[in-house]
């Protein structure tokens, strides 16, 4: 038995070394059978299970098997699935990843189907549908949800500092003196002796509560860390978006903003980067270590779920150009190019992108669905749970969003920018050091 097994292994290994790996391209197209679907957020599982059940009812010859896999393992498992031929037919896709997947021909273009089935792309919140058109002009996904950035604050700390919630709605910011945003942050900061950050005698080395929490250096995108500030100055990550080919970390305007940001830690208003490596920023906030946390809308459930703490949400501050800014990130459902059930997969993706499913998702009040009408329903559902989410939806209504930077080489850009940004935010290097990192980044596109 062992011998025959060995022989099989030899044969397989030889086959392997001869032809590296031939993706399973053959596919019998049919709209029946079981299709597999992956997502990472366990909180959304009940909603999508509901969608799958409804879908199966409407299409009796198709069933959907949902697998939920946490973010930490999601992408490595998925990549191995592509290589090993065990990838799901349909999966939740992220803007930071899909460029590379499309380039490597792992995604199925769905233009024909979208046209044939008359999917109304204008029904989605503005810009979301365009994100999923690759550099080759083909569509690789239909939008499922979006997120923006807001300021989560500790209500009790606010009131003991004498700051009203209305004040929080009208914060301004500029890179020179930080505007009223910095004033509020300073005032909310309290040292071990009870002195506030804007009072004389404040001990910046023994801070009890920081005005602003810190998640990390923010690497290439600064999604929740600094982009809601830097992008109010007219700066943007890349020359164009999507599919820019030049990054702008060398812009003095950007570097000025980053110097201000790093300065917060130096002033004692924000924890030093080195002290934030460990527990998550949300847990630290709930432990009463920070008064304001800038974070994404997908964290609403986490923040409002904590016991013993009252949380409010304010919009991000208005910048020097008179506008707020928030990164607009969207997810989509994509189809794996190697699927053997193309037609069924397309049907499922279209269903996921339809009002039928997105309304179900909306009703769970976990994330904002991509369809405008469903987004509004989600806001209502959040309201019913006692959470006011206008801070997030306002960005979309007022068109103060900018898109998550989509380019090639995103993983390599991140690999370069992560240590560079850490050095700046931790105060070990001035923001002007980013010019050199920027050269390295832009060299990737030559």
Tokens coding 42: 């366990």
Residue 263's beta-bridge partner residues? none
Number of other residues whose CB lies within 10 A of the CB of residue 145: 27
- Minimum Å distance from CB 229 to other proteins? 18
With CB under 8 A as the contact rule, the residue among 25, 307, 322, 446 that binds other proteins is: 307
Tokens coding 44: 């959304």
- The yes or no reply on residue 12 touching other proteins (CB under 8 A) is yes
- The yes or no reply on residue 20 touching other proteins (CB under 8 A) is yes
Q: Which is nearer to other proteins, 233 or 410 (CB)?
A: 410
Q: Fill in the per-residue mask, 126 to 165: x = in contact with other proteins (CB under 8 A), - = not in contact.
A: ----------------------------------------
393 vs 399: CA distance, rounded Å: 10
Estimate to the nearest angstrom the gap between the alpha carbon of 429 and the chain centroid. 27
- The yes or no reply on residue 296 touching other proteins (CB under 8 A) is yes
With CB under 8 A as the contact rule, the residue among 280, 383, 398, 435 that binds other proteins is: 280
Is-contact 221 404, C-beta < 8 A?
yes
Task: For the segment 62-101, give every residue that binds other proteins (CB under 8 A).
Answer: 67-73, 76-77, 79-86, 100-101
Q: Please, what is the angle between helix 410-425 and helix 434-443, to 10°?
A: 180
With CB under 8 A as the contact rule, the residue among 286, 318, 371, 437 that binds other proteins is: 286
With CB under 8 A as the contact rule, the residue among 289, 324, 341, 395 that binds other proteins is: 289
Q: Which is nearer to other proteins, 47 or 114 (CB)?
A: 47
395 vs 390: CA distance, rounded Å: 8
Q: Which is nearer to other proteins, 9 or 380 (CB)?
A: 9
Contact region with other proteins (CB under 8 A), list: 131-139, 241-249, 277-285, 371-379: 277-285
- The yes or no reply on residue 412 touching other proteins (CB under 8 A) is yes
Is-contact 396 127, C-beta < 8 A?
no
With CB under 8 A as the contact rule, the residue among 133, 299, 325, 431 that binds other proteins is: 299
Tokens coding 311: 């949380």
Is-contact 332 132, C-beta < 8 A?
yes
Is-contact 173 143, C-beta < 8 A?
no
Helix (H) or strand (E) holding 30: none
305 CB-near residues (< 8 Å, 6+ apart): none
Number of other residues whose CB lies within 10 A of the CB of residue 354: 18
SS3 198: coil
Q: Which is nearer to other proteins, 171 or 265 (CB)?
A: 265
- The yes or no reply on residue 9 touching other proteins (CB under 8 A) is yes
Task: For the segment 35-64, give every residue that binds other proteins (CB under 8 A).
Answer: 40-43, 45-46
Residue closest to 411 by CA, chosen among 16, 145, 75: 75
236 vs 328: CA distance, rounded Å: 13
With CB under 8 A as the contact rule, the residue among 29, 117, 239, 274 that binds other proteins is: 274
Contact region with other proteins (CB under 8 A), list: 25-33, 247-255, 275-283, 382-390: 275-283
20-29 burial by CB neighbour count: b if 16+ within 10 A, else e? eeeeeeeeee
- The yes or no reply on residue 446 touching other proteins (CB under 8 A) is no
Q: Which is nearer to other proteins, 143 or 301 (CB)?
A: 301
Task: For the segment 419-438, give every residue that binds other proteins (CB under 8 A).
Answer: 419, 422-423, 426, 428
Task: For the segment 174-213, give every residue that binds other proteins (CB under 8 A).
Answer: none
The residue length of the chain stands at: 446
Q: Which is nearer to other proteins, 235 or 336 (CB)?
A: 336
- Minimum Å distance from CB 224 to other proteins? 7
| Residue count, binding to other proteins (CB under 8 A) | 82
SS3 369: strand
253 CB-near residues (< 8 Å, 6+ apart): 175, 233, 234, 235
- Minimum Å distance from CB 335 to other proteins? 16
Task: For the segment 363-392, give every residue that binds other proteins (CB under 8 A).
Answer: none
- The yes or no reply on residue 6 touching other proteins (CB under 8 A) is yes
- The yes or no reply on residue 1 touching other proteins (CB under 8 A) is no
Q: Fill in the per-residue mask, 208 to 247: x = in contact with other proteins (CB under 8 A), - = not in contact.
A: -------x-x------x-----------------------
The answer to whether the bond into 242 is cis (omega within 30° of 0) is yes
Contact region with other proteins (CB under 8 A), list: 7-15, 312-320, 371-379, 396-404: 7-15
């Amino acid at each position: 038995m062992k011998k025959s097994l060995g022989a099989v292994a030899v044969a397989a290994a030889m086959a392997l070394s001869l032809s590296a790996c031939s993706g399973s391209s053959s596919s019998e197209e049919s709209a029946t059978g079981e299709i597999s679907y992956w997502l990472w957020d366990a909180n959304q599982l009940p909603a999508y299970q509901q969608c799958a059940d409804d879908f199966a009812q409407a299409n009796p010859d198709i069933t959907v098997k949902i697998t939920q896999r946490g973010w930490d393992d999601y992408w490595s498992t998925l990549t191995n699935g592509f290589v090993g031929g065990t990838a799901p037919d349909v999966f939740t896709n992220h803007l930071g990843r899909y460029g590379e997947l499309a380039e490597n021909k792992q995604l199925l273009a769905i233009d024909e189907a979208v046209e044939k089935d008359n999917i109304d792309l204008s029904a989605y919140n503005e810009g979301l549908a365009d994100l999923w058109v690759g550099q080759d002009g083909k569509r690789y996904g239909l939008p499922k949800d979006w997120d923006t950035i807001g300021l989560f604050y500790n209500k009790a700390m606010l009131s003991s500092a004498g700051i009203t919630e209305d004040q929080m709605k009208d914060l301004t910011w500029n890179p020179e003196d930080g505007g009223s945003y910095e004033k509020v942050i300073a005032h909310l900061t309290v040292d071990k002796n009870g002195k506030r950050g804007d009072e004389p005698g404040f001990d910046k080395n023994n801070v009890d509560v920081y005005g602003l929490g810190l998640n990390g250096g923010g690497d290439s995108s600064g999604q929740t860390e600094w982009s809601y500030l830097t992008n109010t100055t007219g700066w943007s990550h890349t020359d164009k978006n999507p599919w820019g080919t030049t990054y702008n970390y060398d812009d003095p305007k950007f570097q000025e903003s980053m110097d201000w940001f790093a300065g917060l830690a130096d002033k004692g208003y924000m924890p030093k980067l080195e002290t934030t490596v460990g527990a998550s920023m949300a847990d630290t906030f709930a432990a009463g270590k920070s008064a304001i946390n800038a974070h994404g809308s997908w964290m609403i459930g986490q923040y409002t779920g904590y016991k013993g703490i009252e949380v409010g949400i304010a919009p991000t501050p208005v910048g020097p150009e008179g506008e707020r800014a928030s990164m607009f990130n969207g997810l989509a459902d994509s189809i794996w190019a190697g699927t053997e059930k193309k037609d069924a997969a397309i049907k499922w993706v279209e269903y996921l992108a339809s009002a039928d499913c997105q309304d179900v998702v909306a009703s769970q009040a976990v994330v904002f669905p991509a369809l405008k009408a469903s987004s509004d329903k989600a806001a209502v559902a959040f309201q019913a749970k006692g959470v006011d989410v206008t801070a997030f939806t306002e960005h979309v209504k007022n068109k103060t969003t900018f898109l998550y930077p989509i380019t090639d080489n995103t993983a390599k850009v991140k690999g370069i920018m992560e240590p560079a940004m850490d050095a700046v935010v931790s105060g070990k290097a001035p923001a002007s050091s980013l010019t050199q990192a920027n050269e390295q980044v832009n060299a990737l596109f030559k």
